[in-house]
Structure 1
Amino acid sequence: MAAGAPSPAAPALERVARSRQDLPPWAGGLVGALLVLIAWTVLALTVFSSAGNVPTPWAVVQQLAADGFGLYWANVSITTWSALQGYLWGNLVAIALAVAVLLVPPLEGAATQVAVLTYCVPLTAIGPIVLIVSPPGSRITSVFLAALSVVFTSVVGCLLGLRAADRTALDVVRAYGGSRWTALVKVRLIAALPNVFAALKLAAPAAFLGAVLGEYFGGVDSGLGILITAAQTNLRYAQLWALALMSGAVAGAGYLLVGVLARLLTPWSSTGEREGGISR
């Protein structure tokens, strides 16, 4: 074959690459999920068959059907409500810190330290302390850990977004005598939305998992964390796996929901991403 001549396999490779590009976006996720289910089934029937602590996917489905929809829905809704409260409070604190840094730059060091502190403090260490000081039977621990789980991510995203504003637009506001508050409202907030929503997407599953962990410490009589504790204590392996998968599914649903909201409120950002992907 002459130097520089195309390989005989090149047309076939091009057809394969083109067929992959023609696949819908969800096809890759579906294939990945099928591969995970196959690997899970094989491991459950071979490596972990003697111990029995890894049930097959079919056994987990049977457990979900045996427990009934009402059991899971009642506890998922309670945990989700706690996660939503923590998500709102945590993001309000994060946005307030980011705005304060932009309006008063000397506060950046203190705000950054607060954000890093919320990230570095182990939830398993702070959870029991919050439980002790909370009123009996309250869900403050669950809400607090959910809020604590989102502060750092949201602060970083908000600061990056608010600093991504076009310098020319900021100079125009300043030239016309606008204050920092005017520049924040007129320019920075619009420019910050894509980065802010990116942080909010990551914060959604973190808040839910923080709420579950707060219930896991006790002090309440309902929620996914309580069900997980009961299943672990009674060695109900199929139910434990079902609860773990359900927690992951709800956390993922929160991520997708915020993503859909971001596409609706920042269509220019999603359009730019698609165009960039096509050009590449």
Structure 2
Amino acid sequence: MPPWVGGIIGVVLIVVLWAVVAVSPFGRDGAIPTPLDVLQLFGRAVGDPSYWEAIGVTSLAAGEGYLIGNGVALVLALIVLLVPRSEGLATQLAVVTSCLPLTAIGPLVAIMSQAGSRTTSVFLAALSVVFTTVIGSILGLKSANTTQLDVVRAYGGSRLTEIRKVRLIAALPSLLAALKIAAPAAFLGAVLGEYFAVGLDSGIGVLLLNAQFYNDATRVWVLAITSGAVAGAAYFLIDRIGRLLTPWSAGDRTRKAAF
């Protein structure tokens, strides 16, 4: 059975379970809308320009934070390779960024930001990706073949040459896997940042706050599914890019399956 068939079966089972719960006592008072209600509202939202504007501004903030956070993570990983003794410090910094509660950092960043600024969304998006990319980058850069590294050293290559000729290529699969996981985390951080920002008039987080204020459960579900779809699309896009850049990482499994 092709893998996509299992995915479709899983989605169908989730929708059926959702419909059953919606009409059960757990979904009374409209707390859990039916799939049909959500689908109808989603159809109306697709034709609303403000809906697409919210997706765009949140995605833009998430993308900016994604680039900043991953840039910081890659710099830390390279420092670890150039100065091996700094690995403990870099790892601790990454763990700290993962352990910091975003719900506590968000208000502090919002207070220090100007009204109407998306700094909070960008900052939380960046903070959400540092740990994953640092760990993935360090593991990938350290997974280089020792024989290839010995050849570079035998020909007088420096540590920078090792990184450029061997380690970066060896690290690509792990790095791209980390970047793939970081994409949904960045979008979630951007949405959460909009909860704390002041003066924003658009964004997924702003629409969620508005739906919560009016106790509109159906709209909350539509926005939640939209957030999941955008995050999933980013995950899928980076996965496709990873397969194009590192075809050998999937090619081994294909050849093994053929035998």
TM band (smaller chain): over 0.9
Note the residue ranges of structure 1 that are not aligned, 5 or more in a row: 1-22
The residue number in structure 1 matching 2:222 is 242
- Please tell me the residue identity of whatever aligns with 1:117: V
Q: Does 1:146 align with 2:107?
A: no
Q: Does 1:130 align with 2:109?
A: yes
**1:61 aligned partner:** 39
Q: Is contact 1:98–1:159 with CA below 8 Å preserved after alignment?
A: yes
Aligned length: 257
CA contact (8 A) 2:118 2:197 kept: no
C-alpha distance in structure 2 between counterparts of 1:273 and 1:174, whole Å:
32
With normalisation by structure 1, the TM-score equals 0.89
Letter paired with 1:189 = L
Give the CA deviation at 1:163. 0.5
**Which stretch shifts more, 143-152 or 216-225?**
216-225
The Cα RMSD (Å) is 1.2
Residue in structure 1 matching 2:194, options 211, 215, 221? 215
Range with greater deviation from structure 2 (99-108 or 67-76):
67-76
Q: Decide which moves more: 23-32 or 34-43.
A: 23-32
Q: Does 1:28 align with 2:3?
A: no
Larger radius of gyration, structure 1 or 2? Answer: 1
Task: Report the alpha carbon displacement of residue 272 of structure 1 after superposing the two structures with TM.
Answer: 1.6
- Of 38, 45, 53, 1:74 maps to 53
**1:6 corresponds to which residue?**
none
Q: 1:167 aligns with which of 136, 146, 153?
A: 146
**What is residue 87 of structure 1 aligned with on the other side?**
66
Match of 1:8 in 2: none
Question: Is 2:74–2:133's contact at 8 Å kept on the other side of the alignment?
Answer: yes
> How many Å apart are 1:253 and its aligned residue?
0.7
Cα distance, 1:277 vs structure 2:
5.2
Q: Does 1:101 align with 2:80?
A: yes
The answer on whether the counterparts of 1:161 and 1:193 sit within 8 Å (CA) in structure 2 is yes
Secondary structure of the corresponding residue to residue 31 of structure 2: coil
More helix by share: 2
TM-score with structure 2 length normalisation? Answer: 0.96
CA shift for structure 1 position 111 = 1.0
1:24 CA drift (Å): 2.4
- In the alignment, structure 2 segments of 5+ residues that lack a partner are none
Instruction: Give the aligned partner of residue 17 of structure 2.
Output: 39
User: Could you give the per-residue CA deviations for residues 139-184 of structure 1, whole angstroms, max 9, x where no partner exists?
Assistant: 0000000000000000000001000100000011111111100000
The percent of aligned pairs where both chains have the same amino acid is 56
